[in-house]
Amino acid sequence: MKFFIDTANLSEIKEAQDLGILDGVTTNPSLMAKEGIKGKDNVYRHYKAICDLVTGDVSAEVIATDYKGIIEEGEELVTIDAKIVVKVPMIKDGIKAIRYFSDRGIKTNCTLVFSAGQALLAAKAGATYVSPFIGRLDDIGSDGLELIAQIKNIYDNYGYPTQILAASVRHTMHLIECAEIGADVATCPLSVITSLLKHPLTASGLETFLADHKKVNG
């Protein structure tokens, strides 16, 4: 399973990249706003800075919601860097735009996906990635991981090449269960990735090893 980091924070992206396990980055307008990035030039410069830090795909979301606007914005976004993937919302004009981009070899990430039917449409339109939001489904008493399993089953049935990018991943169990189900990618905050490192038996075992070594070696 690929690990993407879900942030626009440059130091967190660098930290994940330096760990040697990072496969890509996802951003959205809320994450860009959180970093205080405003104005088109600054936003585009920030995307370029992210691309310069990593080796994998970087999702940049369009703001337009009409077909013509999405096409124009997406075509401009991909001029920033070859790593840019155009992130398009799951709306009617978005699906049409994903077909347009797909026919021209431009990578897309269909975002704000909350049902298997939406994921099926995204795959049929040729999306490179589909982003089901696990945590937000859990928030409303639904089962986000069940949706990942459903989409996996549907895509496997027909051999759709669209990659399942589990998003709104909030904790390590989300991440591990996504891997068990067979999601292609999980995107999450840095804290979720680094939480995977932790186990109390690792910490106590290491403490004992070092103490025993010190007893003998001083």
Footprint of ligand G3P (CB under 6 A): 6, 26, 28, 133, 135-136, 167-168, 170, 187
Measured from the CB atom, the residue of 111 and 150 that comes closer to ligand G3P is 111
Measured from the CB atom, the residue of 100 and 175 that comes closer to ligand G3P is 175
CA atoms of 184 and 128, how far apart (whole Å): 11
Measured from the CB atom, the residue of 100 and 145 that comes closer to ligand G3P is 145
Residue in 14, 48, 68, 87 annotated catalytic: 87
CA atoms of 130 and 26, how far apart (whole Å): 12
Please answer whether residues 75 and 46 qualify as being in contact, where contact means their C-beta atoms are separated by less than 8 angstroms.
Answer: no
Q: Least separation, in Å, of the C-beta of 187 and ligand G3P?
A: 5
Q: Least separation, in Å, of the C-beta of 170 and ligand G3P?
A: 6
Q: Which DSSP symbol is given to 133?
A: B
Catalytic annotation on 87?
A: yes
Measured from the CB atom, the residue of 100 and 181 that comes closer to ligand G3P is 181
Please answer whether residues 147 and 168 qualify as being in contact, where contact means their C-beta atoms are separated by less than 8 angstroms.
Answer: no
Q: Least separation, in Å, of the C-beta of 39 and ligand G3P?
A: 22
CB atoms within 10 A of CB 106: 19
CA atoms of 154 and 44, how far apart (whole Å): 36
Please answer whether residues 60 and 84 qualify as being in contact, where contact means their C-beta atoms are separated by less than 8 angstroms.
Answer: yes
Q: Least separation, in Å, of the C-beta of 115 and ligand G3P?
A: 16
CA atoms of 164 and 129, how far apart (whole Å): 6
Q: Which residues are marked as active site?
A: 87
